[in-house]
Structure 1
């Protein structure tokens, strides 16, 4: 399902119904090339492995940090989640070809799950609310399935759903694999059931996840943003790095001047997002 030609209202409605969006051609080929060069330099510092999970990846290279406030994604993220938000996680995943499904220390494929803490977020009538949303930048050719693609069950965030198994090799009713070209981006809610497909191809999967949450949720990557990330940051990026006021109470009830992302939001602040 491609969403590139839809209006903001249509994108919002589709996301609320399906729990995900696939946006085509968000990043230019030049931007993809620069990001892959940055990733090459990061991987050169890591031990050789079949698979990599690198958290807080915005700290590792300024090219990745530039995606924190990516202008093609940020207004949509604000509309979906509300304007009192921050960067929650930045997570680089690499899955090399693994036709024999070898287990790796960083797990080359991930079983079916919803994202969240342990114990999990509360469920009411079998349904978990949306607390954060991830954007996934596709940086390698994932136009075909079983290249380590992300598997999802569309709409599974909106109804009581529990897989009768967690084995990614067995197909669930209604599941799809997200297939895309370098530069495509997909967004999905943390409560959407998803998994990582095995990579049985000759292609290496490269996906970069940036997740956003309400600013009153503790981020996964850091306690406080580093001076490196804050240096020269715009007001919008400072907000996304959790810097709005010295008084922590303002994380819950900020003044408008503390949340410059409000300018992106179109609608009623009490109704337009999942969590405020």
Structure 2
């Protein structure tokens, strides 16, 4: 039996209006289990902490690297952002139960914000264009709120000069939504939507893995050149997503069609 293909035009429309998508059952249970075993190995190499923020996570384990070109997500990402894109960031976040809100050096929660550089991206009529989009792979039971969930304010990306009443993540804001999902679900959002990482006051460990994508002419956040290990035996699509399309850097702005195989997914 062939899997049901997503209605990409409908998802693009929903994304543009609401500023996020929550896709159910993207990863099979077996893959979630493999990813969690990989994360256990990574954590074992880190100092003990209540919170982990591990950047360039694709370099840490092949199971994570295999999400770079995840086939259920990539065609949608191309149609949201265009086909001249690359991996922008891979950020593994773990929040262990922390009922007392103990502050950690790796940030056990994140206040309300939009992503972006400092000084910020330029605005036109109070709005910022979409420069990058993240796919958040939910790898633990986040089916209930207050488990360190990501919070968002739907539609805030389309409100000129929007600012929340407070940036304190512990204060409930009008219209806020906590993203709840099961292991294997994927949450997609742009840098423009207001979001926050809530404290984890539950008895459950939060595990979320963010893979972000941007135009290939932007500098990625947590790497500037892919390692030979990541590039070894990479398919043309993965090589593009790792930013390797040409020795002529002008082609990053005006690529030849053969340099951007992701164009085959573009509608």
Whether these two folds match at TM > 0.5 is yes
Distance of 1:253 and 1:5 partners within structure 2: 31
Identify which range, 116-125 or 242-251, moves more after superposition: 116-125
Residue aligned with 1:87, SS:
strand
Distance of 1:224 and 1:148 partners within structure 2: 32
Distance of 2:60 and 2:201 partners within structure 1: 29
Displaced runs of 4+ in structure 1, greater than 2 A? none
Point out where structure 2 has 5 or more consecutive residues left out of the alignment: none
Q: CA RMSD in A?
A: 1.0
Q: Which residue of 1 aligns with 2:17?
A: 17
Distance of 1:54 and 1:6 partners within structure 2: 31
Q: Which residue of 2 aligns with 1:7?
A: 7
Q: Which residue of 2 aligns with 1:42?
A: 42
Distance of 1:34 and 1:135 partners within structure 2: 19
Distance of 1:126 and 1:200 partners within structure 2: 36
1:237 aligns with 2:242: no
Q: For residues 139-174 of structure 1, what are the alpha-carbon distances to aligned partners after superposition, in whole Å with 9 as ceiling and x for unaligned?
A: 000000010000000011111210121111111111
Q: Which residue of 1 aligns with 2:101?
A: 101
Distance of 1:223 and 1:51 partners within structure 2: 26
Residue aligned with 2:32, SS:
helix
Distance of 2:61 and 2:6 partners within structure 1: 32
1:125 CA drift (Å): 2.1
Residue aligned with 1:263, SS:
helix
Distance of 2:211 and 2:146 partners within structure 1: 23
Residue aligned with 1:11, SS:
helix
Q: For residues 55-113 of structure 1, what are the alpha-carbon distances to aligned partners after superposition, in whole Å with 9 as ceiling and x for unaligned?
A: 00000000000000000000000010000000000000000001111111111110000
Distance of 2:239 and 2:222 partners within structure 1: 15
Distance of 1:200 and 1:54 partners within structure 2: 21
TM-score, length-normalised on structure 1?
A: 0.94
Residue aligned with 2:112, SS:
coil
Point out where structure 1 has 5 or more consecutive residues left out of the alignment: 267-276
